[in-house]
Chain A
């Protein structure tokens, strides 16, 4: 009888431990999956924002200065800063990937905002629209590749 009771008690304890372990594992996997999905979403937002900025910038550089340009200029510079924040967050724990994406963002920013950006004497620059498109594709591609290289958060690394 005593043997039977101790077996039952041991089974009950084992069951409870297994339940706790399963619940812990599920919660851990669920949290990690959520974080991975969040990273994918951030990467997607970066690429969408870059696409949006490049459209605005190509329109901006395809024509001469207009009195209402200040609004577009503010939207473009704010968009680039938003991308920089997302890159900071996304690659916070990987300096190499962060550096690689930041360099491409700097190049993109220079294609868009260097020279006569913001100038009342600005003239259309058709060559620049091509350069902006290429730089936008490069930064988007770099972010996508770098996102894939990020260590997953499954076991607490890369967090």
Chain B
């Protein structure tokens, strides 16, 4: 059994921004409401990316790269997080999300934390 979160319908139709002050569709809120609780509980979570106008790097970095800054290891994230996109132009966001996660981990290692 796993949760499926469709960003545009379950979270916000226009995901953008990093912090709660940036608006309702921000990356921090998405991470804290959907990703962190599932991963903390060891639950498999599916995130469906279809339907948004697009995803700014700032949102993706904060929502997904931010998981690493919350001390989740990339291996655990890969194990529990499944990204889904079927409409044209969305599959690249899957690749970009994993890049943000890997980059955040490299930065974390480099900073010694």
Give A contacts to B, CB under 8 Å. 70, 73-74, 76-82, 84-85, 88, 102, 106, 109-110, 113-121
Contacts and interface: CB of A to CB of B under 8 A. Distances in A.
Given A81-B89, A84-B89, A118-B58, 15 more contacts: A77-B16, A77-B53, A77-B54, A79-B54, A81-B54, A102-B92, A109-B96, A113-B57, A115-B58, A116-B18, A116-B58, A117-B16, A118-B23, A119-B58, A121-B21
B112 interface: no
Closest 3 CB pairs of A and B: A77-B54, A118-B17, A118-B16
B83 to A, nearest CB: 16
Nearest to A102: B92
Contacts of A118: 16-18, 22-23, 26, 56, 58-59
A73 B90 CA distance: 17
Contact of B56 (A73, A84, A120): A73
Question: Which applies to chain B's interface (DSSP): helix, strand, loop or mixed?
Answer: loop
A148 B15 CA distance: 36
B53 A81 contact: yes
Contacts of B26: 118
Contacts, number: 76
Interface of B: 14, 16-19, 21-23, 26, 52-59, 61, 88-90, 92, 96, 99
B23 A70 contact: yes
A77 B55 contact: yes
Contacts of B23: 70, 118, 120
B57 A114 contact: yes
A7 B99 CA distance: 73
Contacts of B18: 116, 118-119
B36 to A, nearest CB: 20
B89 A82 contact: yes
A69 B98 CA distance: 28
Contacts of B57: 109-110, 113-114, 117
B96 A113 contact: no
Given A73-B56, A81-B54, A120 B17 contact: yes
B14 A74 contact: yes
24 contacts: A70-B16, A73-B16, A74-B14, A74-B16, A74-B54, A76-B54, A77-B52, A77-B53, A81-B90, A84-B89, A85-B88, A85-B89, A88-B88, A88-B89, A106-B92, A106-B96, A114-B56, A114-B58, A114-B61, A117-B56, A117-B58, A118-B16, A118-B22, A118-B58
